[in-house]
């Protein structure tokens, strides 16, 4: 049996469809009933028979920070584990919560996996856990993590989670780690990168020229499955289709939607000023900040990533980002 943690997230839900399509026996975790509806929505983008696919999954309500509920998740013969559960946030106030979920939660899943002697473990990490580029060169899996650099809380906790996964490899569990760039995919248009599509569709006017790696969610899950079905073990892989600016991404989305392109460029000074104003307002209103110091900094940085390692190992070719965006926009409009 295959276990997927975080089955109701962007990666988890798309992964589940591909696993079920191949007639695998699958168990997945979820935390609330309303999130299960998002999985059904994702499945509907693939097939007109989404409910029958959904019903083939054995769903177990569990929290990776609650060991009694995890014990039930690992009952029976679990052979492969895809660990997709994580907390993504650039808000400094969420740092302790991210440590709890991303590091301690991963440690719990690893401990049960070791105890059950599973065959292979796939961990969804992030390019945020990759070391910074040196002298403007392409960032690869070999870049060393620097504790002294200005890493934000999400980066630190994703790197800490990877350390727990490497611990499993020392305990005899075959592991693979994927480090996707910004993942673009349909079904979650009010959170994460899904907001790009909602905001541009609704006339968002601003853009930055920061650069990072982008990848389609379908490529992420296909690579994960290929790695788990291969003899490759104890390796990590950057998954990036293309390095693009946020300006390019927003402009492409606007063009596909036939909407006006964002027209106001936000530079470093303006971004710095905006996050400070937003911080001041949120301290009064107690609402979640729209922009934080970390997200503001990320929107301006120019980082370039290489996926040559996974391309060579699997002979894999990524879908162009323009094609990914067109399909997501069609799902959004449909």
What size, in residues, is the chain? Answer: 334
pLDDT in tens, the chain (334 residues): 999 999 999 999 999 999 999 999 999 999 988 899 999 999 999 999 999 999 999 999 999 999 999 999 999 999 999 999 999 887 778 899 999 999 999 999 999 999 999 999 999 999 999 987 766 689 999 988 776 555 678 899 999 999 999 999 999 999 999 999 999 999 999 888 999 999 999 998 888 888 999 999 999 999 999 999 999 999 999 999 999 999 999 999 999 999 999 988 886 655 554 444 444 344 444 555 554 555 556 666 789 999 999 999 999 999 999 999 999 999 997 6
Q: Decide if 151 is inside a domain.
A: yes
Domain total of the chain: 1
- 38 within some domain: yes
CB 238 within 8 A of CB 310: yes
Q: How far is it, in rounded angstroms, from Cα 181 to Cα 139?
A: 12
Residue 180 lies in a domain: yes
Contact 6/83 with Cβ under 8 angstroms? yes
**Distance (Å, rounded) from C-alpha 65 to C-alpha 87?**
12
Does residue 6 fall inside a structural domain? yes
- CA distances in angstroms from 272 to 139, 207, 293, listed in the order given: 26, 14, 7
Domain membership of residue 325 (yes or no) is: no
In a domain, 146, yes or no: yes
| Domain-embedded: residue 248 | no
Environment class of 239 (CB within 10 Å of its CB; exposed 0-12, middle 13-18, buried 19+): buried
Query: Domain range holding 29?
Result: 2-188+214-241+304-320
* Any domain includes 299: no
In sequence order, the 6+-apart residues with CB closer than 8 A to the CB of 199 are none
CATH number at residue 91: 3.40.50.720
Output the pTM of the full model.
Answer: 0.91
* Integer angstrom CA distances of residue 258 from 9, 163, 209, 320: 29, 45, 21, 20
Task: State in Å, rounded, how far the first CA of the chain is from the last one.
Answer: 34
């Amino acid at each position: 049996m295959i276990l997927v943690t975080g089955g109701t997230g962007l990666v988890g839900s798309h992964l589940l469809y591909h696993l079920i399509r191949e007639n695998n026996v699958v168990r997945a975790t979820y935390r609330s009933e309303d999130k299960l509806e998002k999985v059904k929505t994702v499945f509907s983008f693939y097939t007109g028979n989404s409910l029958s696919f959904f019903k083939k999954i054995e769903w177990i309500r569990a929290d990776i920070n609650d060991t009694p509920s995890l014990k039930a998740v690992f009952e029976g013969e679990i052979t492969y584990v895809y660990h997709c559960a994580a907390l993504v946030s650039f808000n400094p106030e969420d740092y302790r919560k991210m440590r709890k979920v991303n590091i301690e939660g991963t440690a719990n899943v690893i401990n049960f996996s070791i105890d059950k002697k599973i065959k292979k473990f796939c961990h969804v990490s992030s390019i945020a856990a990759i070391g910074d580029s040196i002298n403007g060169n392409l960032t690869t899996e070999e870049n060393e993590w620097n504790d002294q650099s200005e890493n934000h809380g999400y980066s630190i906790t994703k790197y800490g989670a990877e350390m727990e996964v490497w611990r499993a490899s020392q305990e005899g569990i075959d592991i693979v780690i994927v480090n996707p760039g910004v993942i673009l995919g349909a079904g979650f248009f009010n959170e994460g990168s899904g907001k790009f599509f909602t905001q541009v569709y609704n006339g968002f006017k601003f853009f930055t020229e920061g650069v990072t790696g982008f990848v389609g969610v379908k490529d992420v899950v296909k690579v994960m499955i290929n790695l788990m079905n291969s003899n490759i073990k104890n390796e990590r892989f950057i998954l990036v289709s293309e390095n693009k600016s946020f300006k390019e991404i927003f402009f492409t989305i606007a063009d596909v939607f036939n909407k006006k392109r964002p027209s106001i460029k936000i530079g470093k000074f303006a971004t710095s000023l905006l996050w400070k104003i937003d911080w001041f307002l949120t301290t009064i209103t107690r609402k979640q900040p729209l922009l934080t110091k970390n997200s503001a900094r990320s929107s301006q940085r120019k980082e370039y990533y290489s996926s040559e390692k996974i391309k060579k190992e699997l002979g894999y070719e990524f879908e162009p980002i323009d094609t990914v965006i067109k399909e997501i926009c069609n799902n959004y409009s449909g």
